[in-house]
Structure 1
Amino acid sequence: MDHGVQAIFAAIGSFIVVTLLLAAAILFCQHRKSTKSRTRRNNQIRARPLRNPNPSSSLSIVDASWSWDPKLKISMEELSRATENFSPRLIVGDGSFGLVYKARLSTGAVVAVKKLSPDAFQGFREFAAEMETLSKLGHRNIVKILGYWASGPERLLVYEFIEKGNLDQWLHGHSSNDDVFRCFPLTWVHRVNIMRGVAHGLCYLHGLDKPIIHRDIKASNVLLDSEFQAHIADFGLARRIDTSHSHVSTQFAGTIGYMPPEYRDGVLVANKKVDVYSFGVLMMETASGHRPNLAVRFDGVDIGLVQWARKMKEQGAEMKMVDEKISRDEEGLREESVKEYIRIACMCAGELQKERPQMVEVVKLLESMPHFDYQNDVNKIAT
């Protein structure tokens, strides 16, 4: 091969080598620039707290905190200190997907802190649903949220603290060292008024432009304040629905004993009538003191709470349903009122959805119960 051909091949080879080296250098520089840009962007996200919460954002990977009051600084350090490192001694409730603690912030404010279980089934979705729901609600019978903190799998909600715990504790007893709880049975007058409060709260939720279905109405999700007024809590399973549609779920939502019969048949549709049924069961539980997930003895046979209430109503034995812890001499305990109360409860817990009333109708029925004057009866009991 002559020297001319050799020179040509050498030139081509050199060109290829130089081109490859140049391309490699360009790719390396682009990769380094992209990495720096991504790192800077991530650092900016982590450093910026979310002031306008968007539950659909990736809170599972972004550190975030938020509160309604700018003066209320929420951090893990603050909440850990306020709950004594989440001491079992300060547990005041066991809600869906997590425990609830009583906490005193550095400002002196007493709040409730809900710590969601990191390994809770679909815990982040439930957290997002609760945040989205609670942050937009404003009603005297709905618990208020004050803020939240989230980082990775850790998620904490901060609520207003409701002084007297939940309805389940008052109906079925409790074990607490907190002197806020007083061990005396709820009167009939208080029980009816608590149900009125829950009814008003549900009526508000169902009456929104885009109705909210709670899907887990039960005694432990009804908090009582110092005046025994009801506050609906725990919106982890709540769903917003269009007025013309129902929410179709692929999973059961709710608590055994409170779930409607259509769930038993595999019809997992969330609409207003699902809440109405659970409310009817809650009315029966509140009146009788019987847990809805336990059988009741009737004519030598164990039956469910709803079936028992229907049979007692058919026999005109509603007064025998009243919790034995309630004094029969109580001023507000009148047969006409008890009969109407059980009638309303049975309507709400109707076997078929079409049989159940809307909550707006339930509110009217409870407000017009015969021979029932809450404030007057409470004053008589107090004296």
Structure 2
Amino acid sequence: MDSSLQSIIAAIASFIVVTCLFAVTFMICKAASKRQRVLNQQRLPVRTTRAIRSRTVPDNNHPKKDPDLNSITIGESATFDPALSKVSIEELVRATANFSPELIVGDGSFGYVYKAKLSSGVMVAVKKLSADAFQGFREFRAEMETLGKIVHPNIVKILGYCATGSERILVYEYVAQGSLDQWLHDTSSSSEDDVGLSGVRFPLPWSTRIKIIQGIARGLAFMHSLETPIIHRDIKASNVLLDENFVAHIADFGLARRMEGSHSHVSTQVAGTMGYIPPEYLSGATMATMMGDVYSFGVLMLEIITGKRPNFPFKGEDGKEIRLVQWVHSMVVKEQYVEMVDANILKSELKQNEVMEVVTIATMCATENGKIRPSMEEVVQELDGIPTT
């Protein structure tokens, strides 16, 4: 037999033998592992087995309780608006067609927002929180009672809540025109509530954008000036809603945290949306601060001015990818203020000095050095000097 043929046959035979050995070894190990798992399950204490069973098989014959509440039964609702009757979980299920995807009008932090019409005829926005939004019912109720007391023309009001078992549902006032994000970036619309010609959103005029910026600033300044200040932590275009007069309403307090005492920060993990998150958070800071909100607001101002998303890179003049904040800084260096304004805005609406003033305020807020950012009260004072029509 030819020597090369013998070598090939020998190689094939060796491969088959090695493959068989690996297969046998794998089967032996798998069987041993399965046997060990069975033994471990048999050694589980009875109380652990019962705990596992109680988590996977709910007992519908008894009301659910939260150990945080010291035997207070979960299954309650509350309203903070005297004009709104107490709503039940059953009514909210009916009003949202069992939380139908067709009624979703927003996707906020920790849950979807649904449009709903209550039996009283009142239109509301219903937010169904995900299970991990709040650790316990006590925390949830305290947070809602605090936020429910906030009344400001530039903050979406929480009308009430429902809670049962693991479900946490918030009821907000309904703001007809939808989110600022939609008006800046989504020109199509199938909603009857959207103002526009033939179901299409028109580009927001310059004066309307300034009005919206001023409203957001006032709402944030109010939150920061409370006796127990509130840090929003997720200021962005999709968390600003517009009413029929295009007045801005800050929404989605899913990430908001109250600051106790005289502290200027609250200890919590970094949160927010990429593009809006202040650089100190990305550098490892674990303290949420009011200056973090100021940075996010500055970035949002630049988004409103330019019509460009801060969380997506785009091509600059040299063809290379660049992000919004860096691009604005490069345009400021070249003193191209009007040129950076959203192309959908008529240039006849713009005044060089006015645009420069607005951009300057935005870049002051969105500076990397948090220590030199202005407070929101200072920002409001600066913006109030800019006329709107």
If the length of structure 1 is used for normalisation, what is the TM-score? Answer: 0.78
C-alpha deviation, 1:267, in angstroms: 0.8
Closer, same or farther: CA 128–247 of 1 in aligned 2, 3 Å: farther
Alpha-carbon displacement from aligned partner over 1:62-103 (angstroms, at most 9, x marks no partner): 111111237513112111111122121211111111111111
Query: 1:311 maps to which residue?
Result: 330
User: Is the CA contact 2:298–2:363 (under 8 Å) kept in the aligned structure 1?
Assistant: yes
Pair 1:83-2:123 in alignment:
no
Q: Distance in 2 between matches of 1:294 and 1:83?
A: 33
Q: 1:159 aligns with which of 130, 149, 172?
A: 172
Q: Which amino acid aligns with 1:337?
A: E
Pair 1:323-2:336 in alignment:
no
Closer, same or farther: CA 67–231 of 1 in aligned 2, 3 Å: same
Query: 2:377 maps to which residue?
Result: 360
Alpha-carbon displacement from aligned partner over 1:246-296 (angstroms, at most 9, x marks no partner): 435452211111010101210121111011000000000011111111113
Aligned residue runs from structure 1 range 62-73, under 5 A? 62-68=74-80, 69=82, 72-73=85-86
Aligned residue runs from structure 1 range 162-241, under 5 A? 162-173=175-186, 176-181=189-194, 182=196, 183-241=201-259
Closer, same or farther: CA 109–185 of 1 in aligned 2, 3 Å: same
User: Is the CA contact 2:84–2:159 (under 8 Å) kept in the aligned structure 1?
Assistant: no
User: Is the CA contact 2:74–2:137 (under 8 Å) kept in the aligned structure 1?
Assistant: no
Query: 2:304 maps to which residue?
Result: 286
Residues 157-166 or 112-121, more deviating = 112-121
Q: Which amino acid aligns with 2:251?
A: A
If the length of structure 2 is used for normalisation, what is the TM-score? Answer: 0.76
C-alpha deviation, 1:315, in angstroms: 0.9
Query: 1:33 maps to which residue?
Result: none
SS at match of 2:348: coil
Pair 1:139-2:158 in alignment:
no
Closer, same or farther: CA 59–344 of 1 in aligned 2, 3 Å: farther
Query: 1:267 maps to which residue?
Result: 285
Q: Distance in 1 between matches of 2:71 and 2:172?
A: 19
C-alpha deviation, 1:109, in angstroms: 0.5
Aligned length: 319
Closer, same or farther: CA 129–220 of 1 in aligned 2, 3 Å: farther
**Percent same amino acid among aligned pairs?**
56
SS at match of 1:336: helix
Closer, same or farther: CA 129–342 of 1 in aligned 2, 3 Å: farther
SS at match of 2:331: helix
Q: Distance in 2 between matches of 1:289 and 1:146?
A: 32
Closer, same or farther: CA 222–113 of 1 in aligned 2, 3 Å: same
Query: Structure 2 stretches of 5 or more lacking a match?
Result: 1-61
Pair 1:348-2:361 in alignment:
no
Alpha-carbon displacement from aligned partner over 1:206-261 (angstroms, at most 9, x marks no partner): 11111111111000110100000001111111111146324354522111110101
SS at match of 1:267: coil
SS at match of 1:340: helix
Q: Distance in 1 between matches of 2:299 and 2:188?
A: 24
Residues 96-105 or 130-139, more deviating = 130-139
Aligned Cα root-mean-square deviation (Å): 2.5
SS at match of 1:86: coil
Q: Which amino acid aligns with 2:149?
A: K
C-alpha deviation, 1:154, in angstroms: 0.8
Q: Distance in 1 between matches of 2:185 and 2:138?
A: 31
C-alpha deviation, 1:300, in angstroms: 3.0
Pair 1:252-2:273 in alignment:
no
Closer, same or farther: CA 125–355 of 1 in aligned 2, 3 Å: farther
Q: Distance in 1 between matches of 2:95 and 2:189?
A: 18
Q: Distance in 1 between matches of 2:345 and 2:136?
A: 40
Q: Distance in 1 between matches of 2:243 and 2:307?
A: 20
SS at match of 1:201: helix
